[in-house]
Amino acid sequence: MQWGQIKLLFILSFLILDLFLLQQFIEKQSQDVLGQISTAEENIETELAEDGITIADGANPQEPGEVSTIKSSGSTFSEEILGQIEDMDEEEQTVEVLNENRVLKVELDDPVPVTEDNVIDKVRSLVPFYSQYSFWGWNEENGVALFFQKANDRTIYFNNSGSLLVTIEDGEITGYVATMLAFNEGEMTIDSEQDGAVIAPLNAVRTLHRQGMLQDGDEVTSMSIGYYTEIFVEPSEEKGEQVFAPAWKVTVNGERSHFVYALTGGVIDVEEGNFIEEELQTYDLQENPLESTTEENEESENN
């Protein structure tokens, strides 16, 4: 065998050995990282368990990786939705589109009986664009079933430009008020300095615990990623862009929910009752001025 062939054989052998050692190194690094993550999760679970806080089976979801910040282009019903509204039967309900196609207000001539078990099906049959929203809950104290708009198959929580409030009196749906955020395809996702992998769900739970929002005996029953923003604008005001950051929704004891920004870990202060009361007050205050404005515009056009 010539020396050149022997040298080539040695080179190939060392190359194969190097590749093997590199593979072993990468696998070891991965195992170390996974071990660190597992240890960290075990430490958090131990910390919570010591204070009587548990995580229900299946409540701790897989980490979603990176979730981008998104923005709306404004708040208005699209031409498609407006077409569905125009097709609504006005013989059985009073339909008003207010604030330059930003607010839909519907009053039923004959209230529809509803229970907590069938409220979603009832609302689906009444609202032609129901699929744009997800059900939040039925607030009996305020007489409202509350729905929030979705984007990227995730719910945008507590934004008054993307909500559906269904009014319920004596176990019957009497009407609803809807608003809808607008998104431009291709321009929806934005680059943010904070963008990156979201915090682990257990870290969100620990944050709530350390903020005193979880008590002895509490059980975390579900966790999911949605969107939230602290920028609120009234439905009567000019609508511009709004930015929505990913947020963990942490449900406790199957009843109450808390929110933690998924990129920064900041706790979000939100109160369902206050949100509903403010919404109802807003629409009550706006009803007469809006109607007056509409009548004035019609009179102006006639003159």
pLDDT digits (tens, 9 = 90+) for 261-288: 999 899 999 889 899 988 888 876 333 4
Pairwise CA distance, residues 14 & 113, whole Å: 78
pLDDT at 186: 78
Q: 303: pLDDT confidence band, cut at 50, 70 and 90?
A: very low
Structure tokens of 281?
């007050």
pLDDT at 169: 94
Higher pLDDT: 91 or 217? It is 217
Give the dihedral of Cα atoms 33, 35, 40, 42; nearest 10 deg: 160
Cβ neighbours of residue 123 closer than 8 Å, sequence gap 6 or more: 130, 135, 145, 147, 164, 166, 173, 176
Three-class SS of residue 177? strand
Per-residue pLDDT reduced to its tens digit, 89-132: 777 899 999 888 889 999 999 999 999 999 999 999 999 999 99
Using N-to-C axis directions, what is the helix angle for 201-210 and 3-50, rounded to 10°?
30
Pairwise CA distance, residues 298 & 80, whole Å: 25
Would you say residue 151 has pLDDT above 90?
yes
Which of 31-45, 135-149, 219-233 is least confident?
Answer: 31-45
Higher pLDDT: 302 or 101? It is 101
**Domains of the chain, CATH where assigned:** 49-69+186-272 (2.40.128.690), 75-182 (3.30.310.160)
Q: 34: pLDDT confidence band, cut at 50, 70 and 90?
A: very low
Pairwise CA distance, residues 294 & 181, whole Å: 23
Pairwise CA distance, residues 262 & 65, whole Å: 11
